[in-house]
Amino acid sequence: MEAGPTVDPVETDPPAPTAPATLSPQLSAAENLAFFDAVNLDVISANGQAGGRDFIDALAAAGFDRAQMQVTADRTTVDLAADSVQFAVLFQGECLVGQYGPASGGYHSAVRPALGSGGCLVGETRPIDW
């Protein structure tokens, strides 16, 4: 009896990890980065012109502590649209930092050490008073 054709096994990439469905406060900032990103990418998907308040409101609604957040201004001192907006959450002693805008090439994020001041962003930030 003749053997049929042999088929080499097909190698596939493992499925990409998915972001957790909720904030996991017991985990590190790095372990919550995918959730942070998912929240922010949802904001951008809903509004390509999203500003700082949009990100802060979405992050707060997702469970991050608004009192631990910082955001830069959407407008420059001469009232032009900012090239990008930065926003951050102090979380478990580290900073989840996001940036979005045309000058930054879209959305970017990172986990960074907290500053000596206890905050996350260098320079002037706007009050989160809404």
The DSSP annotation for 43-69 comes to HHHH-TT--HHHHHHHHHHTT--GGGE
Q: How far is CA 92 from the centre of its chain?
A: 16
- Residues 48-83 pLDDT 10s: 999 999 999 999 999 999 999 999 999 988 999 899
- Reply yes or no on whether the pLDDT at 17 is more than 90: no
Domain count within the chain: 1
CA-based nearest residue to 92, from 44, 41, 31, 43: 31
What pLDDT is recorded for position 78?
A: 93
Please report whether residue 57 resides in a domain.
yes
Whether the CB-CB separation of 86 and 97 falls below 8 Å is answered with yes
- Other CB atoms within a 10 A radius of the CB of residue 119 amount to 15
Dist CA 93 CA 46 (whole Å): 30
pTM: 0.83
- Examine residue 44 and state whether it is found in any structural domain, yes or no: yes
CA–CA dist 9, 58 (Å, integer): 44
**Considering the domain boundaries, does residue 16 fall inside one?**
no
Q: Is residue 14 included in any domain, yes or no?
A: no
3 state SS of 12: coil
Domain assignment present for residue 117? The answer is yes
pLDDT over 50 (residue 125): yes
* Residue 7 predicted with pLDDT over 60: no
pLDDT band at 19 (very low <50, low <70, confident <90, very high): low
Task: Give me the domain span that covers residue 118.
Answer: 29-126
Question: 34 lies in a domain?
Answer: yes
Would 20 be classed as within a structural domain? no
Residue ranges of E strands in the chain: 69-71, 85-91, 94-101, 106-113
Q: Is residue 13 in some structural domain?
A: no
